[in-house]
Amino acid sequence: MIETQAETIVVATDRSRLDVDTIHAFLRTAYWSTGIARDVVERAIDNSICFGAFEGERQVGFARVITDRATFGYVSDVFVLESHRGRGVGKRLMSAIMSHPELQGLRRWTLFTRDAHGLYCHYGFAEGRHPERLMELFNERPYGVAV
């Protein structure tokens, strides 16, 4: 279990602290996961390394990494509640992710973002080196709503 603290925000990997109601409430309306069911969120949490950002006991941010802990990490579902944006919470989440001991030495990291390129550039993310090699199979309506 990892825990980092800055000012009043604590980032922790302790799953028992995660507020699944808050996570699901945010993700079901996020542009990348509109309509996602709670059981899908719970399975995603169960199968990822999760990072919660907390102010006191209240969860104010979240991120997870889908990984084999050896070669690959996919940063997903990163969010900060609107009430806490602009306070460095996203940076704290990303710093915790990038310094996590089980995520060191990975060959490849990926993520998708529509609007947070500036945040991720600070951690070394850039456009794909070989976009012509990337292939994907994308389900437009995985939760009954187009994403």
Q: What is the pLDDT of residues 30-68, one digit of tens each?
A: 999 999 999 999 999 999 999 999 999 999 999 999 999
- Which residue in this structure is represented by tokens 């993520």? 111
Question: What's the distance, Cα to Cα, between the start and end of the chain in Å?
Answer: 33
- The alpha carbons of the chain give a radius of gyration, in whole angstroms, of 15
DSSP state for residue 70 in the 8-state scheme = S
Write out the two tokens for 113: 């973002």
Minimal CA–CA distance to 66: which of 21, 97, 26, 25?
Answer: 97
Q: Tell me the percentage of the chain whose pLDDT exceeds 70.
A: 95
Least confident residue range of 16-30, 115-129, 131-145 = 131-145
User: What mean pLDDT value characterizes the chain?
Assistant: 93
Above 60 in pLDDT, residue 5? no
Q: How many CB atoms lie within 10 A of CB 51?
A: 26
Q: Which of 34-48, 96-110, 127-141 has the lowest mean pLDDT?
A: 127-141
Residue 1: what pLDDT? 60
Dihedral-angle region of residue 133 (phi above 0 means left; psi in -120 to 50 means alpha; beta otherwise): alpha
Domains of the chain: 3-133 (3.40.630.30)
pLDDT interval class at 7 (50, 70, 90): low
**Does the pLDDT value for residue 8 go beyond 60?**
yes
Q: What is the pLDDT of residue 44?
A: 98
Q: Give the H/E segment covering residue 74.
A: strand 72-80
Residues 93-122 have a mean pLDDT of 96
Tokens (6 digits) for 111: 């993520």
